[in-house]
Structures are given as C-alpha cells and as structure tokens.
Structure 1
Amino acid sequence: MTASNEIPLVLGERLVEFVNRISHREGKVLALMSEYSVTLPQVLILKSLESSGGMPLSKIAETFRMSLSSASQMVDRLCRQRFAVRREDPGDRRQKIVRATSKAIDLLAKIHRARSEEYAAGIAHLSPRLLSDLDQALRRIIDEWQTQERPMSGEQAGPGTVRHR
C-alpha cells in the first residue's frame, strides 16, 4: 500500500471511530425504526426512492445487491405498511415503478431529525473552537461533493444531491 492509499484508509478508520462515538447515543433513530416496524435496509431503500423519485424493482435489487425475490418481498412489505406504492411506468406500461409515499417521506424526515439531534448531542462536549473547525471542514467537504458529477448509488442527479467520486 502506498502512502497516498494509506491516508484515506487512516481517515476512514478515524471517521468510523468518530461516527461510532456520536451515533445512536440516545437511541432515537432505533426507537423510531422500531415504532414504525422498519429495518435499516428498508429505510435505505425508502431514501433511494425518495431521492430518485422512484425506480423499478430490478433497479432496487441491483442498487442494493439483493436478489429480485428479496427486493420484491421487501417492497411488498413497504407497500403493505403504506411506505411505498407501485405505479405503472408511463413510458412502459409493462413496467412498475416503486415510489415512496408521503408517509415514508415523513418517516425519513423524522429519522433525519433524530440523527441530527443524536449527532449534535455527541459533539456537544467539544470546545467551541473545535466545533467551528469541524463545521468549516464539513462545509468544505460538502461543497466539494456538490461540485462533482456522479450521484450517490440509486439517486438521480438533481438540486441538492450530494455527489461522490
């Protein structure tokens, strides 16, 4: 491994430690997921459906590296819970597009808020100077992502989409 490859690995390890220290400190996100009877894979699928505006079942399976059968079962459950709907694709009536419902979007907003609150609680003990430095670094990283072209897995590029290399 070269020195240039080691830097991202070391930073990756530091990020894992950082996130582990600030995530789920109060259990708010896990409590919401339990209350709404959703799993992490289901939340990730709903987030992709929200971001993309919807996608066919085959794209869900491909994006999340699962069998078509597993993806179908997961989507069936999301539809029964009214977090997702299947609609005919206007461009190909044989194809169905899975979309997040307003109930799913509300849940995702609650999860986002709970995650933000947990992360804020996790960094609250840091000095004002360190919080300012962290804020500036995160702003620069997000700005750089937003200038890049490739959308996150399962998402279409659009306003506010965070992009990765």
Structure 2
Amino acid sequence: MAKKLGLDIKTDPIIWIYEFLFVVTRDSGKEIEFLKYWGKLALYAELHGHHKHPAYAIGLAAAKAGLPIRHDVMNGIDFFDDRVEKVRISKGQSDSNAKQMYFEAQKALENPQGSISKKAMNKVVKYMEYGYHSTRLKVTTLIEDFDFYYRS
C-alpha cells in the first residue's frame, strides 16, 4: 500500500494509528487529502484481503497527506477494546474484575441468543451481503482507478 502512494516505509516518516479512537482536525486542507487517501487505501485493502489491520491505511494516508500525528491523552474518554484490555490485564495494568461487565456486554452483542433457525438464516443473509458487497467493490474499483487497484 505504501508503494501505491509513492511512500517508502524505510525512509518516510510513517506513524501507525490504532483505529479504536482518533480525532482528525482541520489543517489547511491536509485533512481532506488524508480522507481521500484513506478512502482509496481502505478499498484497496478490502479488495486484496487485508482486513486485519486498518491502522496501516490510516498511518499511510496521514503520511501521504502530510497530516501531523500526535498521541495525546484524551482526559474523560475511556474506551474498551477486548484485545487491548486482555494485554493490559496480563501485564497487571488493568483489573479483570473491573472490566468484566464490558467483556460480558461485548460477548452478548457478538453472540446474541436466538433459535438455531434464526442463526442459520442470519448466516445465509451474511454470506449474501458479503457477495453483494464484494461484487460492488470490484465493479466500483474497476471503474474508478484500474491501475491503482489492480496493477502492481
């Protein structure tokens, strides 16, 4: 993805940004360029099966746009990410009992109760939606910028 933007990950200043919580502010139009590059990279990543790490696209887009990145603490804002919290707990930086209700709420959202037939129907609908979105993505990227999305 870096090569697609003309960036060299060894020499260009690229900072990876975690996708959980970040803020983009106005900066002389750089924020618009960032959103444009992020949009293209998001489609590229989806098209090529790079779903696992959206932070790459965010950091590369910011580097290409010249948008400065600061890692500031946002007092009063607390967020929960199960993967991060498990690491914090394993390092003794967080109390598992204090976060248990968040783990339970996430589990309930991700695995709702329902009949077997309802779960089966949801799975079928999910695959149909995936097929539709995948086809739409391929058509859109073919029309939008064939070279960017399909040529090496």
TM-score (norm 2): 0.29
Q: Which has the larger radius of gyration?
A: 2
**Structure (1 or 2) with the greater strand fraction:** 1
